[in-house]
Amino acid sequence: MMNLFQNTELVDSHTVGQILNEIISPRLSNRGLIWNGKYLWFDQPKNSMRQVFGYSRLKGETGTFVWGVCLDFVPTISSNKLKFHRTDKSVTQHLFEWTDEYSNSFFGGQLDGGITTHWGKQETKNSIHRLLDKYEQRINNWFDRASTFQNLIEIAEQQIKKGKSYTLHSPDQRLVLAFLQAKTNQFDNATKTINLLTLEDSLKELLLKQICKSG
């Protein structure tokens, strides 16, 4: 992306972090989300669930927001092994949302209005304020909804049905859905959902064994 702020200096990563903390932390603290000193804010587990807000750095010295939940009973796959996310250091986002502009950019849409800049300290601050003002209510509404396993099942099913940029999310929503189904004692549905994943049989077996422990 071309630098539109030719007469300004690039803000270094440390200063970007300080600015993010200054602007975002007070507004997320109302939800109990605490900054991890990098690019994540999250609360402590409640019923195996954490709310997680992330700042994602993009090409061209820009950034955007990602908000979602981390579930301590849902593994991700790393080097053909299952990895769980149960500590502060391993927090991830299992189900999440991107800004509309970033989501649409994968299909030819413009990023304008959905990203921040790191060119110029004041403009960096202004751009983060603008993006947070634009999305804060939507983020809060999403977190309010994503507070029960049943609602998370609905969110996962809606993302799967909609497709588009959701197909680019990792982990696959079907993996998350299967463990949510197992958590709500829908073991037959969970097994069917796991079998829809494009994975080696050995990995499916690992997941199915873990599914049996998740109820």
Q: Does the residue 4 lie in any domain?
A: no
Mean residue pLDDT across the chain: 94
Q: Which domain holds residue 181?
A: 13-213
User: Domain total for the chain?
Assistant: 1
CA 209 – CA 110 distance, rounded (Å): 43
Q: Does the residue 28 lie in any domain?
A: yes
pLDDT in tens, 185-203: 999 999 999 999 999 999 9
Q: Does the residue 18 lie in any domain?
A: yes
Specify the pTM.
0.93
CA 33 – CA 93 distance, rounded (Å): 14
Q: Does the residue 2 lie in any domain?
A: no
pLDDT in tens, 135-168: 999 999 999 999 999 999 999 999 999 999 999 9
CA 70 – CA 45 distance, rounded (Å): 9
Q: Does the residue 1 lie in any domain?
A: no
Average pLDDT over residues 81-100: 97
Q: What is the CA radius of gyration of the chain?
A: 18
Q: Does the residue 3 lie in any domain?
A: no
Contact 31, 147 (CB under 8 A): no
Q: Does the residue 190 lie in any domain?
A: yes
Q: Does the residue 5 lie in any domain?
A: no
Residues β-bridged to residue 173: none
